[in-house]
Chains A and B, each alone.
Chain A
Amino acid sequence: MTPHPLLEVRDLAVEFPTAEGTVRAVKGIDFTVERGRTLGIVGESGSGKSVTSLAVMGLHRGATVTGSAKLDGTELIGTPDDRLRALRGRKMAMVFQDALTALHPYFTVGDQIAEAYRQHFGGTRKAALARAVDVLGDVGIPEPARRAREHPHQFSGGMRQRAMIALALSCDPDLIIADEPTTALDVTVQAQVLELLMRLQQERGLGIVMITHDLGVIARVADEVLVMYGGSAVEQAPAEKLFTAPRHPYTRGLLDSLPRLDDEDGAELRAIPGSPPSLLAPPAGCAFHPRCPAYAATSDGRCTGDRPPLRTVADGHRSACVLDEVTA
């Protein structure tokens, strides 16, 4: 084993200027991804989860990114783009949400994969296309040689997402960042794609960052979970602990809102009241306090002071609720 973790992110912050003011999309988050492990990042739209992944890849254009993100010990933040390019696709690859728009409509699937391979390994077009056919086969696409000559719109949703994964795998990366990879798919296909990712992870020792709003996906694949809210991490824990003993009121709200098989017939779905915070004018203190049931019960000013940092509340379990003693 090398001494470095595969991906080590420290105090990562992303801001971007807009006409109405600076948006602080990510406000200093830390996480680590080890080889062969999966970190799930969960949060609702606007929580900063996708922006985090784009910042790591160096793909968030027009944004100011500060802090540190080290891939196998190599700093990514602030590194010139031409040096990042050698790592992008090669050492870290991304699987995007909607493969229909994320794959280029004009080029065949085989060409798109071959292009990535040739960019990093050179060689002939023919050899790269052969490699493309191989990875398409690896991700379970039947008749890969024929499908490689087809365009993305000729694929079904599930097959297209497999092709997207094949593209990410083509250069044998160490880290895969998957941003809502199954959101556009129906449930059975979703399960197949997640199984595929887990199988590939075991075969190749991939580190995976799984970004999703879907706790079901997290429960299935994640070893560690980072819960984001309003651009900050509010809870971080091993997946098991997060599901059995959530500490932050937001996480609890999320878990409570999942419908369960043992719900009584006709029981209403439970939702977290209110709506996600504005990134332009976030609430003071804990960004979640306006929607927090615990805050409503104990409004003594602790929630509206400084933004609460993550604190260790149990072994390997961190939560950002100042009321933790109260609500535990």
Chain B
Amino acid sequence: MIGYLLRRLAAMAATLLIVCALTFAVFYLLPSDPAAQFCGKDCSTERIELVRQQLGLADPLIVQFWHYVRGIFAGQTLGTGQYAVQCGFPCFGYSFQSAQPVWALMMDRLPTSISLALGAATLWLLLGVGAGVISALRRGTWIDRTLMIGTIGIAALPVYFTAMILLYLVVTVAGILPYPRYIAFGENPVGWITNLILPWITLALLNAAIYARMTRNSVIETMAEPYVRTARAKGLPERRVVGKHGLRPALTPVATMLGMDLGGLLAGALITESLFSLPGIGKLFADSLNKSDQPVIMGVTLLASFFIVTSNLVVDLVYAWIDPRARLS
């Protein structure tokens, strides 16, 4: 088990290094010039060249890459002389445009994205899995048909449409909720919920519909398994047959999917955050794209890869914990 974990962690590190190298190469090939950006407007060509030298941007790509990777673990000082900026551990680059280390920018935004992701995931799990299980157990009845038609409708709604309608109806017309802005949970738990509830619903609806359909299929399939029939043949009450023998295996693929979805979402819900102007990682990414703020784009890409690779590992571990057949002996 420990050997397995170590192998997985090594593979994770390798994956991240490759992602890092690829993003690094992509940005090197892009036409935008960080030295010119740092220097500002009305810089002479000589001055830009000087800045380039001092920031180390004239070094060979492989040297720059080495500095970047080393910076992640040891921090680094970017540039020399009057332009020297200190970028402490863990240094994911420095945004000259906002004059801040990328790590600080990301950590500043991360709580918003985590709040958004966890709240939305809770909501779509409750709605989606609940509806899916009810639909499967009441298969063929009007409840099943209503739920499944409803989920098709919801799945067809684009996020920006849902967001606009919700904002218009709830905030503008009814005035029940404030226009969402991020309030830290520790600061004001009630405010945290009332401000995030609309983004949560927006993000949750689409996933709830997908999860409902997936859960329904999985439950129907599992309830037809021979081991469920065996549970009935033992004389167990239906409640136990469904709850213990049916739902546990039926929800295993749902748990897997949740892990992957959450991993993707932790690094920011780009559209939802932008729609509600929530200062999350997704919004940071969108803004940085607009400004061609390369160090930030790269940092967020790496952070997202980290979340996805980690959630992959967590999903595999959870899977082995639920299903003994997946355990390594």
A residues near B (Cβ < 8 Å) are: 57, 59, 81-82, 85-90, 93-94, 96, 98, 101-106, 115-116, 119-120, 151, 153-154, 167
Contact = CB atoms under 8 A, between A and B. Distances in A.
Nearest to A81: B238
B232 A104 contact: no
A105 B233 contact: no
Contacts of A59: 229, 232-233
Contacts of A90: 235
Given A106-B248, A106-B322, A94 B233 contact: yes
Contacts of A151: 324-325
B236 A96 contact: no
23 contacts: A57-B233, A59-B233, A86-B235, A88-B233, A89-B233, A89-B235, A94-B233, A96-B226, A98-B226, A101-B226, A102-B227, A102-B229, A104-B230, A105-B249, A105-B323, A106-B249, A106-B323, A106-B324, A115-B234, A119-B236, A151-B324, A151-B325, A153-B325
A115 B229 CA distance: 15
B101 to A, nearest CB: 47
B56 to A, nearest CB: 56
B231 interface: yes
A104 B231 contact: yes
B245 A104 contact: yes
B237 interface: yes
Contacts of A119: 234-236
Contacts of B249: 104-106
A108 to B, nearest CB: 8
A103 to B, nearest CB: 6
Interface in B213-228: 225-227
Nearest to A153: B325
Contacts of B227: 101-105
A88 B234 CA distance: 6
A140 B231 CA distance: 23
B248 to A, nearest CB: 6
Given A89-B233, A105-B324, A119-B235, 8 more contacts: A59-B233, A85-B237, A101-B225, A102-B227, A115-B234, A116-B234, A119-B234, A167-B234
Nearest to A150: B324
A178 B233 CA distance: 12
A105 B226 CA distance: 11
A120 B233 contact: no
A136 to B, nearest CB: 16
Contacts of B232: 59, 88
A86 B237 CA distance: 9
Contacts of A82: 237
A147 to B, nearest CB: 14
A120 B235 contact: yes
Contact of A87 (B235, B323, B329): B235
A116 B235 contact: yes
A164 to B, nearest CB: 8
Given A104-B245, A151-B324, A88 B235 contact: yes
A90 B230 CA distance: 13
B13 to A, nearest CB: 32
B325 A115 contact: no
A93 B235 CA distance: 9
Contacts of B236: 85, 89, 115-116, 119
A102 B228 CA distance: 8
Nearest to B229: A59
Contacts of A94: 230, 233
A220 B231 CA distance: 30
Contact of A102 (B230, B325, B329): B230
A103 B230 contact: yes
A86 B235 CA distance: 6
A26 B109 CA distance: 67
A82 B236 CA distance: 9
